[in-house]
Structure 1
Amino acid sequence: MAWLRELPWREPDSVLAAWGNVPWCAFLDSGGALEERSRWRFFCHAPRHVLHVQAGRVILDGRDLGQMSAAQVLSFLRSLCPWYDALAQQVEGVPFSGGLVGFAGYAFGLALEGINSAHAAQADVPDMAVALYEYAYAWDRQEKRCYVSGFSHDGYDSTRCVAAWYAVPEQMAPVPACPSFTLEPDQSADSYRRAVAQARELIAAGDIFQVNITGRYTALLPDGVSKVDLYRRLRAHAPAPFGAYLSCGADFSLLSCSPERFVSVSDRGAVASRPIKGTAPRGQDAAQDEAFARMLAADEKECAENLMIVDLMRHDIGRVARIGSMQVQDFLKVERFAHVHHLVSEVRGTLQPEHDAFDLLAATLPPGSVTGAPKHRALEIIDMLEASPRGAYCGTVFRIGVDGSMDSAVIIRSFECAGRVMRIGVGGGITILSDPQKEYEEMRLKLAPFAAFAEGV
């Protein structure tokens, strides 16, 4: 049985300050301009189950379940979540009332594709971390209302959820100051440009159409700064429609400012993906901003890059979608974000009745917008050309409700924090028209807001 309670308004930052240091809390933080994709925020804690995957070994609630393939892990997650077909109707208007929240990293996607990486596995970064939550706190940014909703079993009482919310201070606690820190690259500028040039040679030889080449930057979390306080500052600095703070146990956290939806599916099987490909800076004033947007819309290389990823996502989703249901909307639309313009397209379809959100993840991971086309060969080339493993970067943050619906984001513009070690990845798509220096400049443009954040600007 599902339940819903309306609550008095509390600022998300107040809730983060009060509850964010608890292990296995999850904040799905839609920010930036208010629209359909960024209307709702959700906070979950005190999970019923927690699952951790490292190099194929699965740990559930501290119990070692042994080795599983990536496909077996997704099947196990399906069995872990209780399903209530009528939940969406019982909790009208609130799109998530508990279920699975977590992330699948890039290595998990490689495992699904059968790629053995030459890079040493990162012992401090899980391949996947997921928790099952029996309720969720929700903010409706459009109506400026708050709720808690969940699914009941064994006489579950929602009053303690309501009481905990009333104990959260109405006034936001100040965010502690954060000393500056230094982001160190995993390769030099020349090394990155050489990787781009090699990728372009492989494209010219007909080996591939497009490939995403990225790099990682590493820093140490400043002394005395908690990960949740760092995220509180970050979300104000770089708001994004698919922001997220995941505390995956005591040692690993993900701090994401992702602008990109990966795949979503409704409780009725409607699928949408909104890949981003193509980047331009924001202007200093309205006229310059509009000029940059027009240049991006007319850029042959950027449009070709987006088109190839649209075709890739149509193919991936089409593996589990009804024949004839695939369509493209908002093709090559320029969207403005806090620090950049992006070219965005939307791919839609309808799941076949025998498939669900877990099948959709299996068919589409790792995300095509951060890999390339054809995908399998792109993954091999990425592993050959890049200087370090991607970790969580270029995976996905997802929520899967007990009604079967899912929403997810591509893990980009995100810090992964393992102990005191922080990493952030950036990169871009390479085509036959790519210029190594311009690709390096685009990569630095994406990094710039986070470099400024690290310097305390």
Structure 2
Amino acid sequence: MQCRELAWIDPGTAFQALAGQGPLVFLDSAATGDPRAQISYIGIDPRATLRLDNATPLPAWLETAKPEDNTAPPDWPFPFKGGAMGWLGYDAGLAPLGLSSRHPPFPTLPAGWFGMFDLVLGFDHAARRCFALAAARPADNAGARLMALAARLAPPAASFPPIPPLQWVETLPRHIYEAQVERLRAYIAAGDVYQANFTACFTAPRPPGFNPASFHAALRARSPAPFAAFIDTGTGMALCSASPERFLSLDTTGRVETRPIKGTAPRAASPAEDQANAAALRANPKERAENLMITDLLRNDLGQVCATGSVQVPELFAVESYAQAHHLVSAVTGRLRAGLGAADLLFSCFPGGSITGAPKYRAMQIIDELEETPRGAYCGSIAWIGLDGAMDSSIVIRTLVATPETLYAQAGGGITWDSVPSAEYEEMMLKLSPLIAHG
């Protein structure tokens, strides 16, 4: 592989120049000032792609699709050194747990999609430095591919087209949503679960002229997030994500981290009121209990694949603030056992506990019973899995999913015995608001 430093270009401007020209993944750390939002990546021209009906083929494909020229040079300064980028949907996690869904899948939406990218742009936001990485192809050497990429970035990028009006339809009206929350509380009272994540789906026909890249550009301006992402499969399907939540990260030494989000409070225009909202969230017994239950679940999930005694909770009940909401966040770390890799880690914890509930198996059964649609890509994971075995991933929340015919926007929250159905509906709508603003 070869790398080359290019003149600094803002990641959003580079995205504007490259979008719409075949499969592309933009891992978009758009949250200015967030310590976790220091690096962004754009992958284009994948050497291979994988459309998944279930998760099973992914580990073997990660090996067979690797380029022969698969070692990044030492002057490439980023954790992702080329490899797979894509998404695995929530529904792909059912069969490995022995579960099935009563809902047919969304039409034309696969269970997941990955591209093997050996042409990558990396952006260091703080240093304002941009690098390009390329592997050789049989018909093109790495240097020529780097030159061609630089040439594509040179002209002024054309503006994205406007977003046409979107006609959103609520598949679970408010009175039914609140009634289903009450049913979930009854399951909690009966001892089936301690909590479960309950969600709703809005749909809109995809109008002529809808450009997913335009939507993502507007979304990242409205709701910048440290784990934002845009995925264009090149087949009419796209994900536009403003996720604030890390799922799993793995470095080359085997260190693992997950950062579950459980607990939400709205932002306020007044600084004093905003600070009071954050403080109230941190002190709220219901929100702390909800967060602690999911932190314990993820400790257990990591314990299945991490070395004995290595799983720790270095951060508990931290408040992180985003454009629309404050969130209560904890961190769980561990060290992956020898002989295991990124796919083992991903599958052992999938789907993420913050969007299932506890205990996970029973919560997922209840979710399927009470929700009105499949989840599809929503509540799955967007991930990069490097050629060197490292990985980072997000939970697919705050995300619009576009198929050739339909747009999907989904949101929800964790339900406990203390949940108030009307408040849960309002929280769901707060999370959904950046996605359905073009209604």
TM score, norm. by length of structure 1: 0.91
Q: Which residue of 1 aligns with 2:89?
A: 105
Aligned to 1:14: 13
Equivalent pair of 1:27/1:42 in contact (CA under 8 Å)? yes
- Structure 1 residue 118 and structure 2 residue 117: aligned? no
| Aligned-partner Cα distance in 1 for 2:69–2:424 | 47
The verdict on how the C-alpha distance between 1:93 and 1:157 changes in structure 2, with shifts beyond 3 A counting, is: closer
**Per-residue CA shift, 1:208-234, capped at 9, x if unaligned?**
111000000111334323111221222
Give 1:290 deviation, angstroms: 0.3
Unaligned runs of 5+ in 2: none
- State the 1:436 CA deviation: 1.1
Relative distance call for 1:152 and 1:353 in structure 2 (3 A) is: farther
Q: State the match for 1:310 in structure 2.
A: 295
For 1:50-449, list aligned pairs within 5 A. Answer: 50-54=49-53, 56=54, 70=55, 72-82=56-66, 87=71, 90-152=74-136, 156-169=141-154, 171-449=156-434
**SS of corresponding position for 1:449:** coil
CA distance in 1, matches of 2:11, 2:20: 14
Structure 1: 5+ residue stretches without partners: 57-69
Q: How far apart, in 2, do the equivalents of 1:418 and 1:86 lie?
A: 33
- Cα RMSD after superposing both structures: 1.9
Whole-Å separation in 2 of the counterparts to 1:10 and 1:123:
38
2:70–2:387 contact (8 Å) kept in structure 1: no
Task: Check 1:31–1:403 CA distance in 2 against 1; reply closer, same or farther (3 A cut).
Answer: same
Deviation of 1:86 (Å): 9.7
Contact 2:51/2:114 (8 A) holds in 1: yes
| Alpha-carbon distance change, 285 to 416 in structure 1, aligned in 2, over 3 angstroms | same
Q: 1:91 to 1:135 in 2, by over 3 A?
A: farther
> Residues of 2 paired with 1:105 and 1:37: CA distance?
24
CA distance, structure 2, for counterparts of residue 324 and residue 444 of structure 1 = 40
Please tell me whether the aligned partners of residues 335 and 343 of structure 1 are also in contact (alpha carbons under 8 angstroms).
yes
CA offsets per residue over residues 313-332 of structure 1, 9 Å max, x none? Answer: 11111111000000112210
Contact 2:16 2:158 in 1 (8 A): yes
Query: 1:285, 1:321 → 2: CA distance?
Result: 44
Aligned CA distance change for structure 1 residues 213 and 292 (closer, same or farther; 3 Å): same
**8 Å CA contact retained: 1:280, 1:296:** yes
> Shift in Å at residue 182 of structure 1?
2.7
The C-alpha deviation readout for 1:39-98, integer Å capped at 9, x for no partner, is 1111111111111013x4xxxxxxxxxxxxx3x323323322539999477345211121
The alignment partner of 1:37 has SS state of coil
* Secondary structure of residue in 1 paired with 2:239: strand
What secondary structure, in the 3-state scheme, does the structure 2 residue paired with 1:450 have? coil
Contact 2:134 2:145 in 1 (8 A): no
| Residues 313, 331 of structure 2: 8 Å contact kept | yes
Distance 1:87 1:37, change over 3 A: farther
Identity among equivalent pairs (%): 39
Q: Is the 8 A contact 2:194 2:358 kept in 1?
A: yes
How far has the Cα of 1:432 moved from its partner?
1.2
**Matched residue SS, 2:116:** strand
Give the AA of the match of 1:317: L
The change in CA–CA distance for 1:167 and 1:33 in structure 2 (over 3 A counts) is: closer
- Match for 1:270: what amino acid? R
Alpha-carbon distance in 1 for matches of 2:104, 2:400: 20
3-state DSSP class of the match of 1:280?
Answer: strand
Residue 35 of structure 1: how far off its partner (Å) = 3.7
How far did 1:153 drift? 6.9
Counterparts of 1:130 and 1:192, CA distance in 2: 34
Q: Residue 319 and residue 330 in structure 1: after superposition, are their counterparts in 2 closer, same or farther (change >3 A)?
A: same
1:320 alignment partner AA: V
Greater alpha carbon shift after TM alignment, 397-406 vs 72-81: 72-81
Q: What per-residue deviation string (whole Å, max 9, x for no partner) do you get for residues 371-420 of structure 1?
A: 00111111100000101111100000000111110000000000000014
Distance change (3 Å), C-alpha of 1:20 and 1:83: closer
**Does the 8 Å contact 1:10/1:170 carry over to 2?**
no
